[in-house]
Structure 1
Amino acid sequence: MSALEIREVRKDFGSTRVLKDVSLAIDSGEFLILVGPSGCGKSTLMNAIAGLEPVTDGQILIGGDDITWRTPAERDIAMVFQSYALYPSMTVRQNIAFGLEMRKVPKAERAEAVERVADLLQITHLLERKPAQLSGGQRQRVAMGRALAREPQIYLFDEPLSNLDAKLRVEMRTEIKKLHQRLGTTIVYVTHDQIEAMTLADSIAVMRDGHILQLGSPDEVYNDPVDMFVAGFMGSPSMNFITATLEGQVGDYRLRITTPEEQELVLPWPADRVTSELAGHLGQQVVLGLRPEHFSEQDARLEGQQEGTLLETRVTVVEPTGADILLRLPLGDSEVTARVGPKCPVAAGERLALRVDMGRAVLFDPQSERRLA
């Protein structure tokens, strides 16, 4: 296992710069996920780490050793691809052992490694089958087994679950999590699926247009996003953005929101979350960020319920999901999503009293989209 450090890496394809001075560092045994929309540069960065794409400038270090200009074979890295890349004419046993055979590992050691990873991934009963006889999930386990048999310094996963159906993705996600907990390996994992990122990662790097916008724990990127892109990208359903006017005076701020029904809604901003930047935005428009779970239904059974600021609004759409209910309701200049309990007694068109947890809300500058508070 080794730590990974990337220092101001740039990658150009002709006149197009795909990676723009990317820097990050992860500790030995850490699970890093690169996440972002298609075309943000995450797969290019993964290929640069693997040595499949030479960088234009910058350094890549593993365990403090500069491997920037080494060939893929010299980097001691194993990669699991989106397409399983199995040899169709070989059995599962032969597919797993092939990389070891190419490295001239003795036959007895190869056999031992195959049995070890087959037991770890619970595919021992599949060793004599060929890829055509396997399901998608089984093929992905074989692809992982081929990488695990090598015991390299770092494992790279490039969207390994994207070809699987929804149920199998959840199952394989759990297996990868267990695998990392068991082995304590250093893993860099690329995905566009932010649910995968939240459930698997120790650290998440959110990318956009060749830049890393934020690097932090799942909790940090979800609850303390640096800008509106990160806030909107992480979370499902995504964060609600509501235009509001910041009013009041230093230490006593309020957010005034005009509803589509021409009603004025005033939400107090918590005094303990006032930042120096807010003073410069008094009397100006800001963007209030509220996640669906920051709303909760007013419960008449709880006498004196005080959690959050009370508002009343009309519900336009009710979407039961089983575990909870998603409500669509007008607020400010947009329609927002609220997540409430599965027994909330409301139908489309009815009015509902909701509480808003302003203690977890965030504010953004509408021009720069950077976080203000």
Structure 2
Amino acid sequence: MSALEIRNVCKDFGNEQVLKDVSLAIDSGEFLILVGPSGCGKSTLMNAIAGLEPVTSGEILIAGEAVTWKTPAERDIAMVFQSYALYPSMTVRGNISFGLEMRKVPRAEREAAVERVADLLQISHLLERKPAQLSGGQRQRVAMGRALAREPKVYLFDEPLSNLDAKLRVDMRTEIKKLHQRLGTTIVYVTHDQIEAMTLADCIAVMRDGRILQLGTPDEVYNDPVDIFVAGFMGSPSMNFIAATLEGGEGGYRLRIVTPDEEDLVLPWPVSRETPDLARRVGQQVVLGLRPEHFSEEDLRLTDQAEGTLLEARVTVAEPTGADILLRLPLGAGEVTARVGPKCRVAAGERLALRVDMGRAVLFDSETERRLA
């Protein structure tokens, strides 16, 4: 039985359809992340799951029970908000235990729950303080503790880290990951940060314009994107998209990339990645997708298919990041980003020979933007 199931949910605000026939299901203990750009409908979907926003049509089931028209209190969920939503006049202890008190949980059980989550989140020394005396990270822990004090069927996190600074976000992300691994809870988590999505999720739903474009594991949405939007949204820096012409012959398929002022670049398409649809596309324009790490000056980082696939270009920008170096270089009609090792000694204006790992490249239709191969 799924811990959460959404069936053909639509949500309209006046004449605007914000959610368009959304369906998904996750099992007990799974960590689902809803990710997408601002305005894609992810927070509206979260509010519909919580019961804060009534749906126009469709069904929502929690642990097999239809809750579409039930109030938030009747859904057995706990929610952590972006704004923390702590009661300023209450101590940390009072904030954590308040929900349990409203549900008439006996005092001894409430106190035991507070001590349990305080120890889990390492905030025992803060229990008698008020929210104004806490840092942003501490307030976020209290908000999480209030949710964890209960044992609901589903936890909902609505961009809980967006108000934190960069370092604290990384630290809290790690804490949430540890909590999920330790407790095995079912979590639905909204974020616009694709790094958060990749590091935390068991399953990612990529949303755009009120629809789920792809639902899959982090590896699937990153390495096997269904279209150009998903490919470009997941990953930092994002995937490079290069216009090419698909050519075919007895030697297999090739991609011809027109390079201004220089000889055209021809890249072989891997035999292992051929699909029946490619035969109908010969002579047509396609879009080649290459991630920054698909370029390398080191043979050891390449798949067998990539050996011998070389290009040479003049570097326009070199950006050392410590762990690696990001290079900008012209390819086709525009520029691409290549991620190379920190020992690569190259400066802007110098020419560099790189190998291209075509074994991990992806191909898209230039008109529909859907994945071809």
- Do the aligned partners of residues 330 and 61 (structure 1) sit closer, same or farther apart at CA in structure 2, a change above 3 Å counting? same
**Offset from partner CA, 1:93-141 (integer Å, 9 cap, x none):** 0000000111111111100000000000000000001101100000000
Partner residue in 2 for 1:110: 110
List 4+ stretches of structure 1 deviating above 6 A.
Answer: none
1:345, distance to aligned residue in structure 2 (A): 1.0
SS across alignment from 2:69 = coil
Tell me if structure 2 keeps the 8 A contact 1:319–1:326: yes
Matches within 5 A, 1:45-194: 45-194=45-194
1:261, distance to aligned residue in structure 2 (A): 2.6
Query: Counterparts of 2:366 and 2:12 in 1: how far apart (Å)?
Result: 31
SS across alignment from 2:287 = strand
- Do the aligned partners of residues 50 and 251 (structure 1) sit closer, same or farther apart at CA in structure 2, a change above 3 Å counting? farther
1:357, distance to aligned residue in structure 2 (A): 0.2
- Do the aligned partners of residues 269 and 6 (structure 1) sit closer, same or farther apart at CA in structure 2, a change above 3 Å counting? same
**Offset from partner CA, 1:32-76 (integer Å, 9 cap, x none):** 000000000000000000000000000001111111110000000
* Structure 1 residue 310 corresponds to structure 2 residue 306: no
Partner residue in 1 for 2:34: 34
- Alpha-carbon RMSD across the aligned residues, in angstroms, is 1.7
Query: Counterparts of 2:270 and 2:168 in 1: how far apart (Å)?
Result: 43
Tell me if structure 1 keeps the 8 A contact 2:203–2:215: yes
SS across alignment from 1:363 = strand
1:280, distance to aligned residue in structure 2 (A): 1.3
SS across alignment from 1:162 = coil
Question: 319-328 or 252-261, which moves further after superposition?
Answer: 252-261
Question: 71-80 or 278-287, which moves further after superposition?
Answer: 278-287
Tell me if structure 2 keeps the 8 A contact 1:308–1:357: no
1:305, distance to aligned residue in structure 2 (A): 12
SS across alignment from 1:23 = strand
Q: What is the number of equivalent residue pairs in this alignment?
A: 371
Partner residue in 1 for 2:8: 8
**Offset from partner CA, 1:17-39 (integer Å, 9 cap, x none):** 00000000111100000000000
SS across alignment from 1:3 = strand
**Offset from partner CA, 1:225-263 (integer Å, 9 cap, x none):** 000000000000000000011012377000011113332
* Structure 1 residue 200 corresponds to structure 2 residue 217: no
- Do the aligned partners of residues 172 and 232 (structure 1) sit closer, same or farther apart at CA in structure 2, a change above 3 Å counting? same
Unpaired runs of at least 5, structure 1: none
Tell me if structure 2 keeps the 8 A contact 1:245–1:283: yes
Query: Counterparts of 1:146 and 1:308 in 2: how far apart (Å)?
Result: 57
Partner residue in 2 for 1:262: 262
Query: Counterparts of 2:87 and 2:98 in 1: how far apart (Å)?
Result: 9
- Do the aligned partners of residues 305 and 342 (structure 1) sit closer, same or farther apart at CA in structure 2, a change above 3 Å counting? farther
Query: Counterparts of 1:227 and 1:334 in 2: how far apart (Å)?
Result: 20
Partner residue in 2 for 1:283: 283
TM-score computed with the length of structure 1 as normaliser? 0.97
Matches within 5 A, 1:216-235: 216-235=216-235
Query: Counterparts of 2:244 and 2:4 in 1: how far apart (Å)?
Result: 43
1:276, distance to aligned residue in structure 2 (A): 1.3
* Structure 1 residue 341 corresponds to structure 2 residue 338: no
- Do the aligned partners of residues 272 and 2 (structure 1) sit closer, same or farther apart at CA in structure 2, a change above 3 Å counting? closer
**Offset from partner CA, 1:323-342 (integer Å, 9 cap, x none):** 00000000001100000000
SS across alignment from 1:141 = helix
Q: Give, as a single letter, the amino acid of the residue that structure 1 aligns with 2:94.
A: Q
Tell me if structure 2 keeps the 8 A contact 1:251–1:271: no
Tell me if structure 1 keeps the 8 A contact 2:305–2:357: no
SS across alignment from 1:185 = coil
- Do the aligned partners of residues 104 and 251 (structure 1) sit closer, same or farther apart at CA in structure 2, a change above 3 Å counting? farther
Query: Counterparts of 1:340 and 1:102 in 2: how far apart (Å)?
Result: 56
Tell me if structure 2 keeps the 8 A contact 1:298–1:353: no
TM-score computed with the length of structure 2 as normaliser? 0.97
Tell me if structure 2 keeps the 8 A contact 1:2–1:153: no
Query: Counterparts of 2:217 and 2:166 in 1: how far apart (Å)?
Result: 25
Q: Give, as a single letter, the amino acid of the residue that structure 2 aligns with 1:5.
A: E
- Do the aligned partners of residues 256 and 187 (structure 1) sit closer, same or farther apart at CA in structure 2, a change above 3 Å counting? same
1:298, distance to aligned residue in structure 2 (A): 5.1
Question: 166-175 or 245-254, which moves further after superposition?
Answer: 245-254
1:2, distance to aligned residue in structure 2 (A): 6.2
- Do the aligned partners of residues 78 and 46 (structure 1) sit closer, same or farther apart at CA in structure 2, a change above 3 Å counting? same
Partner residue in 1 for 2:209: 209
SS across alignment from 2:279 = helix
